Amino acid sequence: MNNLGSRLEKRISEIEGNVEKRLTVKFNTVINDRVKAEVAKLKAEITTEVSEYKDKVETLEKSYAEIVTSKCDRTDQKQNLNIIVKNLSVEQRENTDKPFLKSKVAALIKDGLKLANVSVKDVVRKQTYSGSNKPGIVVIGIESLEQKKLVLKSKKVLMNSAKYSRVYIENDIPYEQRINNINNRTILRALGKDNDFVVKSGRIVKKQFNNTSINDVNIPQRTDDQTKPVSKIETIRTHTRKTAKLAKFLQLMAKILRK
């Protein structure tokens, strides 16, 4: 009886162990399958959401780029078609008769520049600074870029005109570029290089003394004395003066930055 009881107890223990192992394997399989299913589901949801957000971001980027490009194109086009006229005399009739200023500009282009095929879209007289006795500049909108280039190319003709010899025509430069040009000229003066370099279209370029361009009028030519070799002492003195100017300029910039 004892042996039978022992065998029964052993058999029951084996069955319990096998059942426990099988249940453990089964539970692990079920849990793994469920976890994998949930992970796959969550991954799919995240992928979908990320894709949706990506599409939205791309749409926003395209919309923003189109807005910026459109705005820049309109600004550039308007700016590129404008020219500036300086020293064009002011008459009281301009305040009461709006088309009068436009007719004056048309006469300037036709009679002064000798151009018959240039159309003026709009004109605006700017106010002068307080205390200035010069007439306000006139901003002129030209019909096309080709016509604007023709006006700028022909502006030298005014020097030989009895009526318009003191009138000057220039390209309309954006405000940011004008400030940048002023800053560049200030730096050149501080470094003592304003006689050797000139600011053109926002860039600092070396002056050409053997010829002149539209933007570089009345540039002094080098004389024979200027081309003679310079002694070492003179070179050192010149370098010392330029270094002192640069030091003062850097000190001034440091004070401005500390404020």
Q: How does pLDDT run across 31-52, given as a tens digit for each residue?
A: 778 778 887 887 888 888 878 8
End-to-end CA distance of the chain: 106
Spell 73-108 as b/e; 16+ CB within 10 A means b.
eeeeeeeebbbebeebeeeeebeeeeeebbebbbeb
CB 209 within 8 Å of CB 222:
yes
Q: How much of the chain, in percent, has pLDDT values that exceed 70?
A: 68
pLDDT tens digit sequence for 92-117: 898 889 899 999 999 999 999 999 99
| Segments of 39-113 assigned E as strands | 82-86
Helices (H) then strands (E): counts for the chain: 6, 6
CATH number of 81-172: 3.30.70.330
Over residues 228-248, the pLDDT tens digits come to 444 444 555 555 565 566 566
* Rg of the chain over all Cα atoms, to the nearest angstrom: 40
SS3 97: coil
Residue 11's pLDDT band, with cuts at 50, 70 and 90, is: low
pLDDT at 207: 84
Alpha-carbon gap, residue 250 to 253, rounded angstroms: 5
Band the pLDDT of 80: cuts 50, 70, 90.
confident
Q: Map out the domains of the chain as residue ranges.
A: 1-79, 81-172, 176-258
Q: What is the mean pLDDT of the chain?
A: 76
